Amino acid sequence: MVGQKHLLLGTRKGLFQFVAQDHDWRMVRHSFEGIPALYACYDARNDTIWVSLDHGHWGQKLHRSTDGGQTWQEIPAPKYPETAMLKDDKPAALELIWYIQPGGADQPQRLYLGTNPGGLFVSDDGGDTFQFADSLWNHPSRPENWFGGGKDNAGICSILVHPDDPRHLTLTVSVGGVYVSRDGGATWEGRNKGIVSEFLPNPESEYGHDPHYITHCPARPEVLWQQNHCGIYRSENGGESWEEISQSDGPARFGWAICAHETDPLTAWVVPAHSDMSRVTIDQSLCVSRTEDGGKTWTAFREGLPQELCYDIVYRHAFHNMGDSLMFGSTTGNLFFSTDAGASWRTLANYLPPVYSVRMYAN
């Protein structure tokens, strides 16, 4: 039985919390006012909310709440070891806590942090302390194939835990590619076959690709969806091979975020943007594109979304689905919500700060 529905909204000016009420959403709390809240998520295993903060002056911080956001506890942010060096022999130091991923249901104390400049951190004590994952950092592909895209250095921007096997991890390095571990993070292998990156000297290189975001169909976790810098991709074999499913004559191609249907492995949604050269909406209007046949065809839905003078961009963590509900927030501070699987949309808020992350949950 689904209980109360909640929304966590990470924005440039703090964390906003909403609850669903009478077919609408009501804002109930604004925490960390004025401080960039980069990513927030809910850990259902222990009823904990996590948020990463990107203070302009005071560094990266990690907080958790075990009372629904009423009070927060600061956790010491993870530290890169002294031996961790960047390509130019500069020491690596924490730049962003970009992604927070709770471990599997049978690992209640495990938590993963994806960070810039490319470090993965793992906790086995519920987030009290974090260990640096040397295994990924020391992967032979890193020195030559990881680099910054929109940021100075590479970062880990999505992490998937296989629902049936918590030791099976899939993550994305932007820029670097997709990596998989089958042993809980002890060893890693690239999973980029089929990805074509026109910005690389060898577009079909084994590494060096730019997966903006990866997700899976929870009921069929071998089915992966990837919004890549160079198109949209789908895999039916856990990333062993990828097939490009971008729309050749339509909007579904460039963007950052992608949502996968919870049970139907053929259905996914994207919020298209123009291109990497011009990071704006297409024709000053906003649409959500949905495929229901594994990416063979896409349908663009515009009802309820602005269709003129619109420049809203949707970041990689700012689009989320739960059942037939979808929600996204934009760089222009607009928040849109659908209850019919993306066919029509309602505006929940205007004039919010730029939205970095959108995550719904029910408890």
Per CB under 8 A, does 128 bind another protein?
A: no
Per CB under 8 A, does 76 bind another protein?
A: yes
Closest distance of CB 74 from another protein, Å: 6
Residue from 1, 23, 82, 248 in contact with another protein (CB under 8 A): 82
Q: Which stretch binds another protein (CB under 8 A): 18-26, 55-63, 303-311, 325-333?
A: 55-63
Amino acid present at 288: V
What 15-21 contacts at long range (C-beta under 8 Å, 24+ apart), as own/partner pairs, is: 15/40, 15/51, 15/69, 16/352, 17/68, 17/69, 18/348
Per CB under 8 A, does 85 bind another protein?
A: no
Per CB under 8 A, does 140 bind another protein?
A: no
Per CB under 8 A, does 91 bind another protein?
A: yes
Per CB under 8 A, does 74 bind another protein?
A: yes
Closest distance of CB 60 from another protein, Å: 9
Report the sign of the C-alpha dihedral through residues 279, 282, 156, 146, in that order: negative
Per CB under 8 A, does 108 bind another protein?
A: no
Closer residue to another protein in complex, CB, 97/169: 97
Question: Rounded distance, CA 32 to CA 353, Å?
Answer: 13
Residues of this chain, 284-303, that bind another protein according to CB under 8 A: none
Closest distance of CB 243 from another protein, Å: 40
Phi, psi of 145 (to 5 degrees): -120, -5
Closer residue to another protein in complex, CB, 26/55: 55
Closest distance of CB 113 from another protein, Å: 13
Residue from 41, 49, 51, 77 in contact with another protein (CB under 8 A): 77
Question: Rounded distance, CA 40 to CA 49, Å?
Answer: 7
Closer residue to another protein in complex, CB, 20/93: 93
Residue 211 β-bridge partners: 228
Closer residue to another protein in complex, CB, 18/80: 80
Per CB under 8 A, does 57 bind another protein?
A: yes
DSSP H or E run through 173 = strand 165-174
Question: Rounded distance, CA 188 to CA 123, Å?
Answer: 18
Closest distance of CB 36 from another protein, Å: 9
Per CB under 8 A, does 189 bind another protein?
A: no
Q: Which stretch binds another protein (CB under 8 A): 53-61, 141-149, 237-245, 257-265?
A: 53-61
Per CB under 8 A, does 94 bind another protein?
A: yes
What does the DSSP 8-state code read for residue 122? E
Residue from 23, 58, 89, 351 in contact with another protein (CB under 8 A): 58
Q: Which stretch binds another protein (CB under 8 A): 70-78, 96-104, 187-195, 246-254?
A: 70-78
Q: Which of 243, 7, 256 is nearest to 149 (CA)?
A: 256
Per CB under 8 A, does 23 bind another protein?
A: no
Question: Rounded distance, CA 227 to CA 47, Å?
Answer: 30
The residues near 288 (Cβ < 8 Å, ≥ 6 apart) are: 269, 270, 271, 300, 301, 305, 326, 328, 338, 342, 345
DSSP H or E run through 143 = helix 142-145
208, HSE (Cβ side, Cα atoms, 13 Å): 14
Per CB under 8 A, does 79 bind another protein?
A: yes
Per CB under 8 A, does 93 bind another protein?
A: yes
Residue from 2, 3, 23, 56 in contact with another protein (CB under 8 A): 56
- Chain-centroid distance, C-alpha 208: 19
Residues of this chain, 216-255, that bind another protein according to CB under 8 A: none
Going across the sheet that includes 355-362, the strands are: 24-31, 14-21, 5-11, 355-362
The Cα angle at residue 291 between residues 287 and 295, in degrees rounded to 5:
120
Closer residue to another protein in complex, CB, 120/286: 120
Binding site for another protein (CB under 8 A): 55-59, 61, 74, 76-77, 79-80, 82, 91, 93-94
